[in-house]
């Protein structure tokens, strides 16, 4: 009878242990499932937040790119204006230089045809002196 009582007790303890183990396993599985669901929700929220930040960064980058593109276009237009102004200035200066050279060449020809001022100044006093000598003499 003692063995049977011990067997019954062992069977009862084994049954209780199995029941507790089953309850613990079910609780662990439930907590694991809840943890997985919570982790998925957090991962989705983090991913959505990151995607939102990426979208904002892309919008800012596109806006900055548009600003830079506009600035480059303006600089190209200014460059063309400056090139045009420089070309006009060079043409004007070239024309002015040619005009001055032409005037200098004309003046050189006129100087060759005119008597020199120093020669005229020397001749005038001689003529004046000879005229005085005639008057005095």
pLDDT tens track for 35-69: 999 999 999 999 999 999 999 999 999 999 999 99
Nearest to 17 by CA among 5, 9, 28, 29: 9
Q: What is the DSSP letter of 116?
A: P
Q: How confident is the model at residue 4, as a pLDDT?
A: 86
Cα separations in angstroms, 46 against 37, 40, 51, 54:
14, 10, 8, 12
pLDDT digits (tens, 9 = 90+) for 92-105: 999 999 999 999 88
pTM of the predicted structure, to 2 decimals: 0.47
Cα separation of 30 and 82, whole Å?
77
């Amino acid at each position: 009878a003692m063995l049977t009582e011990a067997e019954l007790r062992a069977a009862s303890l084994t049954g209780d242990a199995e029941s507790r183990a089953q309850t613990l396993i079910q609780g662990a599985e439930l907590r694991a499932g809840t943890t997985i669901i919570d982790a998925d929700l957090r991962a989705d929220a983090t991913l959505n937040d990151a995607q939102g930040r990426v979208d904002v960064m892309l919008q800012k980058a596109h806006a900055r790119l548009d600003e830079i593109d506009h600035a480059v276009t303006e600089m190209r237009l200014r460059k063309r204006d400056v090139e045009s102004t420089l070309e006009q200035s060079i043409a004007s200066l070239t024309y002015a230089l040619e005009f001055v050279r032409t005037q200098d060449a004309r003046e050189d020809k006129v100087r060759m045809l005119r008597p020199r001022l120093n020669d005229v100044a020397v001749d005038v006093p001689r003529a004046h002196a000879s005229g005085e000598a005639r008057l005095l003499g």
